[in-house]
A and B are shown apart, each in its own frame.
Chain A
Amino acid sequence: MQNDRVFRYSGAQRSIHWLLALSFFALAITGLFLVFRPAAELAAGGLSRQVHRIFAAVLLAIPVLYAVLDWQGLKRLVRDSFTYDRDDLRWLARLPRYFLGLAHDLPPQGRLNAGQKLHHALVIIGYVTISVSGLLMWLGKSLVGPGAFVAALWVHNITTYALLILTVGHIYFVFVYGALSGMLSGYVSRRYAELEHPGWLAELDRTAVGR
């Protein structure tokens, strides 16, 4: 019974993930009121701006929270996201097949597959650009001047669409490969781990035996 499942995400990691998801969607929706004309009326009065700013503060606090709860986990996430080996590149070359659910004969992957790493890396970059531009628009208003304000608006907009597209892909892969349980209970099926993350599973089994 226990052998069917492998522990993948700690309680701290899951809480941070869902807090990030909540603030991301709250920010995206309230932000897009200012972009999507048919929704413009919802922005009148300024309530959506208050919500945008409250969740902006939450979003800014998330890395701090992660660092406090699980410093090693945060370090590993950032390190892994920006480290790619030959297998990762071969894996990425097969992304179109992976997109269609054809996950056999993939180069072996560790705890994260190359697609997940790339997703995390792009989210980290987008996090930085959307926070810096948002802070400029929020606090720097009269300090930066009209030209820089418009530039920040460009960066904020482009990052928004990029992150939304990444998120669509993220949710798609979760449901194609039935990976949701990892972020709910913390466990994934051994079968899934064998197929997708054999390197990680081997590492887990090694440490388990060692213990």
Chain B
Amino acid sequence: MLMPEAAILQDTSLCIECQACRVACQLQNQLPPDVSYARFQFRESGVFPEVSHHVARLTCQHCADAACVAICPTGAVYKGEEGLTHFDPARCSGCGYCAEVCPFAVPTVKADQAVRCAGCPALTADGQPPACVQTCLAGALSYGPRAQQLLRAEQRVAALRRRWPNANVYSPGGVGGTHLIWVLRDSPEAYGLPADPITPAGIRVLKDVVQPAGLLSVAAAAAISALTFVVARRNARRVLTEHADKEG
């Protein structure tokens, strides 16, 4: 059975900033209280009395063209059938490559382990929403087929536009689209989000071409040397003795 592509919809206009999603995530992943896979960014803009307050729950964006998945040397970061990015801490070496290449600067490294959203594989494999979505009190988070979620996001934005002319759907194409789709009341910058994030070039070619070709070349060099060694050694011995004899 093929799972349809799913997405989390994160509607910032509904968020009540309770952070229950963070706690649910910590429980689900058995994290200590001071470690969290979600970071809350608060931004204010405008001048009193026309001040707007924006909150961004910054967590894995589940990019379709995920740099972290492509670069992870151990396979600890991987894609699920539903399109979410998953993480298996047991396989993590703590190299931090995922943190380096993330266009959203989301993952961090602590004590030789990446700190990053696991995408709740046990739940989503069952077709259930991730823990954060299940806990959301305000209905700001939802989970469902990606195409449907995009449609819902457009509808929400259309409604919000009356009060928030800059409201927009945020699921940037530079990372292949995302499986975490935002409804923003204002520009991405107002939330501290990158306007045009892109997956760094060259990761796939490095992993799929350069590395196998490099390892193969080293193996080939060793194999050729092993094959010619006996002959070459015999020749060199002969040349050395002949030379010594000639010199007398």
Contacts and interface: CB of A to CB of B under 8 A. Distances in A.
B112 A49 contact: yes
Interface in B227-245: 228-229, 231-237, 239-240, 242-244
Contacts of A191: 240, 243-244
Given A102-B235, A168-B221, A191-B244, A147 B200 contact: yes
A164 interface: yes
A36 B67 CA distance: 19
Contact of B202 (A35, A151, A161): A151
Contacts of B237: 101, 178
Q: Which of A141, A153, A160, A169 has the most CB of B within 10 A?
A: A153
Given A34-B95, A44-B91, A146-B200, A101 B218 contact: no
Nearest to B100: A149
Nearest to B242: A104
A194 B247 contact: yes
A191 B224 CA distance: 28
Given A49-B94, A157-B206, A161-B214, A44 B74 contact: yes
Chain A facing B: main interface SS: helix
A101 B233 CA distance: 6
A164 to B, nearest CB: 5
Contacts of A103: 235-236, 239-240
Interface in A149-163: 149-151, 153-154, 157-158, 160-161
Given A34-B95, A146-B102, A157-B211, A104 B239 contact: yes
Given A157-B211, A195-B239, A195-B240, A141 B234 contact: no
A156 B228 CA distance: 30
B228 A165 contact: no
A150 to B, nearest CB: 5
B120 interface: no
A43 B74 contact: yes
B225 A168 contact: yes
Nearest to B91: A44
Interface of A: 32-37, 40-41, 43-46, 48-49, 99-104, 141-142, 146-147, 149-151, 153-154, 157-158, 160-161, 164-165, 168-169, 172, 175-178, 191-192, 194-195
Given A45-B93, A46-B94, 20 more contacts: A35-B215, A36-B215, A43-B73, A44-B90, A44-B91, A99-B232, A100-B235, A141-B96, A142-B100, A149-B200, A153-B97, A154-B202, A157-B211, A161-B214, A164-B221, A169-B225, A176-B232, A176-B236, A191-B240, A192-B240
7 closest A-B pairs by CB: A101-B235, A46-B112, A161-B214, A101-B232, A101-B236, A43-B93, A34-B73
15 contacts: A34-B73, A34-B74, A35-B215, A43-B93, A49-B95, A101-B239, A104-B243, A142-B100, A154-B210, A165-B218, A168-B221, A172-B232, A175-B233, A176-B236, A191-B244
